[in-house]
Amino acid sequence: MRQVAILGVGQTPVREHWDLPIRQLAVNAGRAAMEDAGVERVDGIFVGNMTSGLLNQQRHLGAVVADFLGQWGVEAVKLEAACGSAGSAMRQGIIAVASGEMDAVLVIGVEKMTEPQGKEITAALTTAADADYEIIHGVTFVGLNALIMRRYMHEYGYQHDDFAPFPINAHANGARNPYALFRKPITQQTYANGRIVADPITLFDASPIGDGAAALLLVPADKAPGAVRVIGSASATDTLAIHDRENPLWLKAAELSANRAYEQARIGPEDVDLFELHDAFSVMAALSLEACGFAARGAGVRLAQNGDILPHGRIPICTMGGLKARGHPVGATGLYQLAEAALQLRGDAGAAQIDGARIAMTQNIGGSGATIVTHILRKP
């Protein structure tokens, strides 16, 4: 298997892009990645997306994106694993290049969510969870995560206010990223005043939906000696329904995929300089940090309280805003994380730059942890 490098990075700002159809969002990001790489023709396109069939009345995104990118005849397909769709598209893109099957691959994550009515969006998001054993009881996707957060607080003795460092860090970092949806820092007081979405989750614990696309252009590493390298790539699953898990506070698929990726990269969590984790909800940030070995069980929140997750801390997270402030266009998020990690390692992260970053990790979560994809990147 060949090593894979990231030769091009492209993204659109996360916004309410009412003037851009979903295909154009994907094309804008894909075209930017191709121009960044100086590549005009690719061998394959892997598109990550979750909800376009329902929210945009358009499936078959592989073909439509290939078509409007002018990549006539190219192999193209869409991958879906709920909010883990883009990380999954990256996995297949990597395998296609690593295997020798393709020499230049475009991976694009895209989602356009803000046009339909709120109830349609809520219904679309519930399809990430178990329709027959969870959603049928009337719980929403936010509701499921609220149950996890409540249990976490009960089990480990935290108050709601203790989670504030996660969104405070995310919003502070998002303010330095021109592609972020929210660019305004928040305070402990803002957090405390957040209105409840699904108790105990408030507005500042829940990442916002958005429209956007992010893309990477992948090539064999030996063709691009100066480009960021992929040194770890792994995906794992857990039960879809949370009640089927031995411990609803442990992300087994995060542990599994992170350990596989560490092994491939021959590193441990102590070697990671920044971690773009999946802070769809504050509690998921804590659970990711714990499952990946950055904090003991129940100590993820304490890690944040100690300032270790800040840009100058031990393990900076959400360095360009995370899901909370950059925004969470669900099927695009995994590639926003990877694009940001690649820019950090290139030294192209602008005001959000983490000094001396050499190794970056990303983790994209589908559902409440049922699909988890972990990647590790290294500065060339």
CA 175/CA 170 separation, integer angstroms: 9
Cβ atoms of 107 and 215 within 8 Å: the answer is: yes
- Residue at token pair 């121009």: 35
Quote the Cα angle for 73-375-285, to 5°.
Answer: 125
Q: Bridge-partner residues for 74, per DSSP?
A: none
CB nearer its own copies, residue 1 or residue 19 = 1
Site for its own copies contains 142 (CB under 8 A):
no
Least distance between its own copies and beta carbon 226 (Å): 25
Contact set for its own copies, span 227-256 (CB under 8 A): 234-241, 244, 252-253, 256
- Residue at token pair 């992170």: 258
Site for its own copies contains 20 (CB under 8 A):
no
Phi and psi based region of residue 136 (left: phi greater than 0; alpha: psi -120 to 50; beta: remaining): alpha
Active site annotation includes 292: no
Q: Bridge-partner residues for 296, per DSSP?
A: none
Site for its own copies contains 370 (CB under 8 A):
yes
- DSSP assignment of 306-346, as one string? TTTTSTTSSS-BSTT-HHHHH---TTTHHHHHHHHHHHHHH
CB nearer its own copies, residue 89 or residue 186 = 89
Site for its own copies contains 124 (CB under 8 A):
yes
Site map (CB under 8 A) of its own copies, residues 39-78, x = contact: -----------xx-xx-xxxxxxxxx-xx---x-xxxxxx
CA 29/CA 19 separation, integer angstroms: 16
Site for its own copies contains 81 (CB under 8 A):
yes
CA dihedral 147, 284, 351, 231 (to 10 degrees): -160
CB nearer its own copies, residue 264 or residue 353 = 264
Least distance between its own copies and beta carbon 151 (Å): 21
Least distance between its own copies and beta carbon 301 (Å): 26
Site for its own copies contains 144 (CB under 8 A):
no
Site for its own copies contains 80 (CB under 8 A):
yes
CB nearer its own copies, residue 315 or residue 365 = 365
CA 150/CA 145 separation, integer angstroms: 9
Q: Which of 83, 278, 292, 318 is catalytic?
A: 83
Cβ atoms of 166 and 282 within 8 Å: the answer is: yes
CB nearer its own copies, residue 79 or residue 139 = 79
Cβ atoms of 170 and 190 within 8 Å: the answer is: no
Residues binding its own copies (CB under 8 A): 1, 21, 23, 50-51, 53-54, 56-64, 66-67, 71, 73-82, 88, 91-92, 95-96, 98-101, 123-124, 126-132, 135, 234-241, 244, 252-253, 256, 366-367, 370-371
Catalytic site positions? 83, 328
